[in-house]
Amino acid sequence: MKAILLRFGELYLKGDNRYIFESMLISNIKAKLAGLVYKFEKTFGRYVVSEYDIQKEDEIVDRLKKVFGLYSISLAQQVDADAETIKNLVSTIKIKTSNFKVVVKRADKTFPISSMDFAKELGGIILSKNPDVSVELYNPQTTINIDIRLNKKAYIFDDIIKCQGGLPLGSAGKGLLLLSGGIDSPVAGYMVAKRGLKIEALHFHSYPYTSEEAKDKVLALAKQLCEYVDEIKLHVISFTKVQEAIHVHCRNEFMITIMRRIMMRIAQKICLRDGLGAIVTGESLGQVASQTMQSMTVTGAVVDTLPIFRPCLALDKEEIMEIAKSIGTYQTSILPYEDCCTVFLPKNPVIKPTLEKCEKEEGFLNIEQLVDEALQTEEIVTLKRD
């Protein structure tokens, strides 16, 4: 019978609370496979998906590859963990490369033959059926794996498919991602989700200075992230009046810094209102003027009760772009629609702002009123994986 063998990674490092992480991972796996017919089984150190429609196998694999917490999966043949049964199956294997190796693992130590002795015996059977190939122990082109588990089943496979790794989604709490239409912020959302943080998202638009296409672009990015996080609640807020007020009352070079400080204030209010434990941004150190150490210190200073996560901080642009391509957001991110951060963009933004100078500029604004009025424009869109 065909089966899919599922392996988890970091959960091995957890102590007495490992069952909590495992429970979340199993729940996330079942949510990802919703709508499909299958049998799920837990055996020590592994999960098994079986009794599924073979026509749906590729779809099941694609969904499982996007489950945070799973390290790898293998398409396997499942048989009873009986030596003769395993040997009969192995005798049907056709090796398509010039050399091979057999690896036997026994989670079930009651199996009567040692791993090394059984691997030698099975290798001999394969050689007898494939006379034109040879055994290569150190750099084999094909590895035949036999995994004998405590559920008294054995799994025979020749491929290991890498998954996302990380921690089960939701195991690290919930956070709010500042989602622009650029390359970096979707990557930041993916990266913290991989560490177990369930995310909602906040997007600022500046209609009519930005187009409806720019807003649709962000909706598309959030939808693409749902492939990994299943569902995102997207908070959409008009930032037009805030930007107009800053443009009129504050020095031009401070516009980006003050704008981001007000964004952070709004994000913190949403987090405290909705029970979200962190703010997440796509900032990368030194990438632009608003992402210098001094700029991030000043913009972060208005957040006094929550951590700010910056998972892209130490990545260069090429690294961020590679992740964006791998998760499918890159082509959407480069669509030529402006976001609110490019509206009224100063020619020479301050790159080393001080808190004192920023607070002086903000003294010309009614910050609380601007924040409250912006929050009144909030729209919430809930997006789900197809």
pLDDT of residue 354: 95
Q: Which residues, 6+ apart, have CB-to-CB distance to 340 below 8 Å?
A: 180, 204, 205, 206, 209, 210, 239, 243
pLDDT of residue 343: 58
CB 169 within 8 A of CB 162: no
pLDDT of residue 344: 63
Residue type at 54? I
pLDDT of residue 290: 79
Partner residues linked to 48 by β-bridges: 5, 41
pLDDT of residue 14: 75
Q: Which two tokens stand for residue 303?
A: 């957040």
Structural domain 174-384, CATH architecture = 3-Layer(aba) Sandwich (3.40)
- Measured CA to CA, the distance from residue 4 to residue 58 in angstroms comes to 11
Q: Which residues, 6+ apart, have CB-to-CB distance to 93 below 8 Å?
A: 126, 129, 130, 144, 156
Could you tell me the residue ranges of all domains in the chain?
Answer: 2-162, 174-384
pLDDT of residue 81: 97
> What are all long-range contacts of 366-371, with beta carbons under 8 Å and residues at least 24 apart?
367/262, 367/265, 370/241, 370/242, 370/245, 370/262, 371/262, 371/265, 371/266, 371/269
Q: Tell me the pLDDT of the chain (386 aa) as tens digits.
A: 999 999 998 876 777 888 899 999 999 999 999 999 999 999 988 999 999 999 999 999 999 999 999 999 999 999 999 999 999 999 999 999 999 999 999 999 999 999 999 999 999 999 999 999 999 999 999 999 999 999 999 999 999 999 999 999 999 999 999 999 899 999 999 999 999 999 999 999 988 888 888 889 999 999 999 999 999 999 999 999 999 999 999 999 999 999 999 999 999 999 999 999 999 999 999 888 778 999 999 999 999 999 999 999 999 999 999 999 999 999 999 988 666 555 566 778 888 999 999 999 999 999 999 999 999 999 999 999 98
CB 358 within 8 A of CB 250: no
Q: Which residues, 6+ apart, have CB-to-CB distance to 57 below 8 Å?
A: 2, 4, 75
pLDDT of residue 339: 64
Residue 7 CB coordination number (10 Å): 17
pLDDT of residue 340: 56
pLDDT of residue 29: 98
Q: Which fold has domain 2-162?
A: VC0802-like (3.30.2130)
Residue 90 CB coordination number (10 Å): 21
For the entire predicted model, the pTM comes to 0.93
